[in-house]
């Protein structure tokens, strides 16, 4: 199995890294990968088909998110705020939220699909994830209520703090 | 009592060697029934019922997205017992059957690969002692108040012997493509916690661990597989590892953007801050303890650095005016706890004790003031400042409010 796939790669003329030495495990098939691959990159690679708007996500958010994050995303004891904090990052009480702090909108889709709702993670369809994502962006005033979020539009959402991150300067600067 | 005494005398007459303790009068008194046998051999050991050292849990509405802290002040040497290793979960501890668990390596590799846990364990392995420290550890000390004791202030750090397969070996099996720069490491926990790891670190000293302190990794530490990135912040040591997705860019997951980034006073946040800088803390005596009056006391504590070995630890018993080198317990491992000890005569006059670590790169652990001068107070993570404890005249030890 292993041999065969290695040979196939060789015949295809693709650059081959050194031959595997131990040959344990098996070649992953496209199905193996599709079954668990939920990665999303900042440029939108990996975002699935489907779409959603805040208008479609309003009810979903109310039923499945607001008990922990508040009806307006203001946060509650069970879950932090998702909205607000603009202009606070240089103050003594910075409020870091999707709107004030997150550099990429793709992260929001990725995170909701992986982890939310907290009490039933991973149970939403991709459509529902797009809808909930759109609603959180809308609550932050970053998109309109009827703007369609999909694999093309989501990476283009202008996040206010997109340029707010710098490389690690340590150990030079403490 | 009288019966015990008689038994003891009888046994002593027969030359039986018995455990005893000195009574008030100085005579040795027996504390056990010598004629009764102890517990039989057992399949899996337990600590003495007299011992009740525990992890500290925070009050929270979401205990599955919470942390528990190691009682550093009640431990000895450098190894944290697995049952007392700190925890930080984002969606609770999954129940994973190692026979079903798989590790997938895919993306920018020549040969995408699926491995079972049993297959992984057949590969050449290494054992290494490394600390794991949450970058949120000591976050309490950004505020002038600070935590009252070492467990709450420093207990998100633990040290274990990890055994596993070098990640470089697995990546050589899969064959990295030349555009490969980062990889997503993803757990099999309910929230599929994930972080982006640079390829250089993966090829350097990273390992896929399956054992901790000689036995299978504990469920709350990532059973059956955990990514260990020596010296790097705890969160990126992804537990319950199920997938490595090799790519040309980082993935900007929630836990490397919203969380585990450090906001500076200019409003910019540092991102991908992986190394845990050199740090030390006196664990004994430490906050909320009380030492038994003037006379000899051994000061003891822990030092560690994510950039290599601990080269030197200095202790001050006068609030930082003068410093003297502490003894370092050998062997000293790279990116591991190092135990330091310092003999001390407590005069009974109130004072402040503090330790300071230097690692093999020459980096000196900063004071809280130096750290704040460089970063402000909104940084939240990566606080490695020195920690002064006040010892009052009566021997009670408290946190020094800055």
Confidence of residue B84 (pLDDT cuts 50, 70, 90): very high
Using a CB-CB distance cutoff of 8 angstroms, which residues of chain A are in contact with residue B178? 15
Gap between the Cα atoms of B138 and B67, Å rounded: 13
Backbone angles phi, psi at B95, to 5 degrees: -100, 100
Nearest CA to A136 out of A68, A43, A90 is that of: A68
Decide which of 1.10.10.10, 1.10.760.10, 2.60.40.10, 2.30.110.10 is the CATH code for A48-161: 1.10.760.10
Burial annotation A28-65 (CB, 10 A radius, 16+ → b, else e):
beeebbeebbbbbbbebebbeeebbbbebbbebbeebb
Give yes or no: residues B265 and B305 share one domain.
no
The answer to whether residue B77 is domain-embedded is no
pLDDT value, residue A16: 47
Domain stop point among B270, B294, B322: B270
CB–CB of B258 and A169 under 8 A? no
Helix axes A106-115, A126-139, angle to 10 degrees: 130
pTM check: above 0.90 = yes
In a domain, B72, yes or no: no
Q: Are residues B121 and B158 in the same domain?
A: yes
Containing domain of residue B187, as a range?
82-270
- A-chain CB neighbours of B264 within 8 Å are 166
Do B225 and B336 belong to one domain?
no
pLDDT tens digits for chain A (174 residues)?
A: 344 444 444 444 343 457 899 999 999 999 999 999 999 999 999 999 999 999 999 999 999 999 999 999 999 999 999 999 999 999 999 999 999 999 999 999 999 999 999 999 999 999 999 999 999 999 999 999 999 999 999 999 999 999 999 999 998 888
B333: in domain = yes
Q: Which positions ≥6 away from B75 have C-beta within 8 Å?
A: B53, B81, B84, B283
Task: Kindly determine whether residue B90 and residue A173, on different chains, have CB atoms separated by under 8 Å.
Answer: no
In tens, the pLDDT along B150-201 reads 999 999 999 999 999 999 999 999 999 999 999 999 999 999 999 999 999 9
| Helix, strand, coil distribution of chain A in percent, nearest 5 | 35, 5, 60
Contact B284, B300 (CB under 8 A): yes
Question: Model ipTM?
Answer: 0.90
How do strand B269-271 and strand A165-167 relate by DSSP bridges?
parallel
Number of Cβ within a 10 Å radius of residue B376: 18
Residue of A nearest to B379 (CA): A94
From A144's Cα to the closest Cα of chain B, the distance in A is 23
B337 and B190 belong to one structural domain: no
Same domain, B265 and B284: no
pLDDT at B34: 73
Tell whether B24 is within 8 A of chain A (Cβ). Answer: no
A29 within 8 A of B240, measured Cβ to Cβ: no
pLDDT confidence band for B3 (50 / 70 / 90)? very low
In this structure, the answer to whether residues B303 and B394 fall within a common structural domain is yes
In chain B, how many domains are there?
2
Q: Inspect the interface and report whether the beta carbons of B115 and A25 lie closer than 8 Å.
A: yes
pLDDT at residue B16, rounded to an integer: 38
- Percent of chain B whose pLDDT exceeds 70: 92
Supply the pLDDT for residue B26: 62
**Claim to verify: residue B259 and residue B123 sit in the same structural domain:** yes
Furthest-apart CA atoms within chain B: distance in Å: 82
pLDDT score, position B27:
67
Residues B100 and B202 in one domain: yes
Give the mean pLDDT of B392-401. Answer: 95
Q: What share of chain B is helix, strand, coil (3-state, %, to 5)?
A: 15, 35, 50
Instruction: Quote the CA–CA distance of B396 and B302 in Å, as a whole number.
Output: 21
- Kindly list the residues from chain B whose CB atom is less than 8 angstroms away from the CB atom of residue A171: 275, 277, 307, 361, 363
Would you state the pLDDT for residue A174?
Answer: 84
State residue B17's pLDDT score.
40
State the number of CA atoms in the 13 A half-sphere of B41 facing the CB: 1
* pLDDT exceeds cutoff 70 at B104: yes
Tell me which of B218, B253, B270 is where a domain ends: B270
- Say what the pLDDT of residue B1 is: 37
- pLDDT at B4 exceeding the cut of 60: no
Going by pLDDT thresholds of 50, 70 and 90, the confidence category of residue B31 is low
C-beta atoms of B115 and A171 within 8 A: no
Residue B64 lies in a domain: no
Query: Of B239, B270, B301, which residue is a domain's last?
Result: B270
Asked if B376 and B248 sit in the same domain, the reply is: no
Look at residue B343 and tell me whether its pLDDT is greater than 90.
Answer: yes
DSSP state, B392? -
Q: Is residue B209 part of a domain?
A: yes
Q: Are residues B190 and B92 in the same domain?
A: yes
> What does the pLDDT read at residue B8?
41
Identify the CATH number of the domain in which residue B295 sits: 2.60.40.650
Nearest to B11 by CA among A77, B136, B3: B3
User: What stretches of B87-206 show up as alpha helix (H) in DSSP?
Assistant: 117-122, 150-154, 167-174, 199-204
The residues in B 83-102 lying below 8 A from A, measured between CB atoms, are 90-91
Rounded mean pLDDT, B353-378 = 97
Q: Are residues B266 and B286 in the same domain?
A: no
* Residue pairs between chains A and B whose CB atoms are closer than 8 Å: 182
Please state, in angstroms and rounded to a whole number, the distance separating the CA atoms of residues A106 and A46: 10
Summarised one tens digit per residue, pLDDT across range B114-160 is 999 999 999 999 999 999 999 999 999 999 999 999 999 999 999 99
Closest CA to B64 of B191, B201, B200: B191
User: CA A64, A133, A148 angle in degrees (round to 5)?
Assistant: 125
Residue B390: other Cβ atoms inside 10 A: 16
Of B377, B248, B263, B376, which Cα lies nearest the Cα of A165? Answer: B263
Tell me the DSSP string of B244-272: EEEESS----GGGTTSS-EE-TTS-EEE-
Helix axes A126-139, A54-64, angle to 10 degrees: 90
Q: Between the CA of residue A13 and those of A9, B12, B135, what are the distances in Å?
A: 7, 85, 45
B118 and chain A: CB distance < 8 Å anywhere?
no
Q: Is residue B58 part of a domain?
A: no
Of B161, B167, B129, B135, the closest CA to residue B270 belongs to: B135
Confidence band (pLDDT; 50, 70, 90) for B25? low
Nearest to B98 by CA among B121, B126, B118, B128: B118
**B367 found inside a domain:** yes
B237 and B330 together in one domain: no
Contact B199, B182 (CB under 8 A): yes
CA–CA dist A55, B265 (Å, integer):
38
Q: According to the model, what pLDDT value does residue A67 have?
A: 97
CA distances from B321 to A52, B285, B315, B324, B351 (A): 63, 19, 10, 10, 11
B246 is a domain residue: yes
Q: What is the pLDDT of residue A49?
A: 98
């Amino acid at each position: 199995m292993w041999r065969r796939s290695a040979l196939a790669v060789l015949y295809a003329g693709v650059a081959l890294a050194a031959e595997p030495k131990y040959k344990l495990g098996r070649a992953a098939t496209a199905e193996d990968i599709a079954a668990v691959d939920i990665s999303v990159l900042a440029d939108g690679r990996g975002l699935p088909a489907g779409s959603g708007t805040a208008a479609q996500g309003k009810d979903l958010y109310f039923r499945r998110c607001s008990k922990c994050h508040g009806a307006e995303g203001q946060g509650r004891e069970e879950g932090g705020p998702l909205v607000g904090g603009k202009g606070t990052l240089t103050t003594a009480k910075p409020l870091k939220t999707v709107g004030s702090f997150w550099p990429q909108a793709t992260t929001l889709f990725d995170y909701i699909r992986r982890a939310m709702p907290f009490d039933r993670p991973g149970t939403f369809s991709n459509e529902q994830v797009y809808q909930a994502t759109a609603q959180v962006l809308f609550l932050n005033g970053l998109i309109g209520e009827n703007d369609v979020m999909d694999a093309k539009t989501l990476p283009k959402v202008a996040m206010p703090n997109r340029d707010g991150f710098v490389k690690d300067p340590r150990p030079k600067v403490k | 009592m009288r019966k015990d005494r008689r038994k003891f005398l009888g046994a002593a007459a027969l030359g039986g060697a018995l455990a005893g303790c000195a009574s008030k009068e100085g005579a040795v008194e027996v504390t056990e029934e010598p004629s009764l046998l102890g517990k039989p051999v057992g399949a899996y050991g337990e600590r003495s019922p007299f011992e009740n050292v525990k992890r500290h849990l925070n009050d929270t509405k979401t205990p599955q997205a919470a942390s528990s802290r190691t009682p550093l002040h009640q431990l000895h040497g450098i190894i944290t017992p697995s049952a007392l290793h700190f925890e930080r979960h984002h969606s609770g501890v999954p129940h994973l059957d190692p026979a079903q668990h798989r590790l997938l390596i895919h993306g920018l590799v020549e040969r995408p690969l699926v491995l079972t846990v049993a297959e992984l364990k057949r590969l050449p392995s290494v054992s290494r002692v490394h600390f794991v420290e949450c970058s949120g550890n000591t976050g309490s000390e950004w505020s002038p108040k600070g935590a009252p004791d070492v467990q709450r202030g420093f207990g998100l750090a633990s040290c274990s012997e990890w055994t596993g397969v070098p990640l470089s070996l697995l990546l050589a099996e899969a064959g990295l493509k030349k555009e490969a720069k980062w990889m997503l490491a993803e757990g099999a926990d309910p929230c599929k916690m994930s972080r982006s790891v640079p390829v250089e670190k993966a090829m350097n000293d990273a390992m896929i661990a399956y054992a901790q302190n000689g036995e299978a990794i504990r469920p709350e530490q990532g059973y059956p597989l955990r990514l260990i990135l020596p010296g790097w912040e705890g969160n990126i040591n992804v537990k319950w590892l199920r997938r490595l997705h090799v790519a040309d860019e980082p993935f900007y997951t929630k836990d490397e953007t919203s969380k585990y980034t450090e906001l500076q006073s200019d409003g910019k946040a540092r991102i991908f801050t992986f190394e845990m800088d050199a740090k030390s803390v006196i664990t004994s005596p430490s906050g909320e303890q009380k030492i038994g009056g003037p006379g000899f006391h051994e000061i003891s504590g822990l030092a560690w650095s994510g950039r290599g070995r601990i080269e030197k630890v200095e202790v001050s018993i006068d609030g930082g005016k003068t410093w003297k080198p502490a003894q370092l317990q050998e062997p000293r491992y790279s990116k591991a706890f190092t135990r330091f000890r310092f003999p001390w005569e407590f005069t009974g006059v109130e004072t402040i004790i503090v330790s300071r670590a230097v690692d093999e790169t020459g980096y000196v652990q900063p004071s809280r003031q130096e750290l704040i001068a460089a970063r402000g107070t909104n940084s939240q993570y990566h606080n490695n400042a020195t920690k002064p404890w006040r010892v009052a005249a009566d021997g009670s030890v408290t946190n020094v409010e800055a």
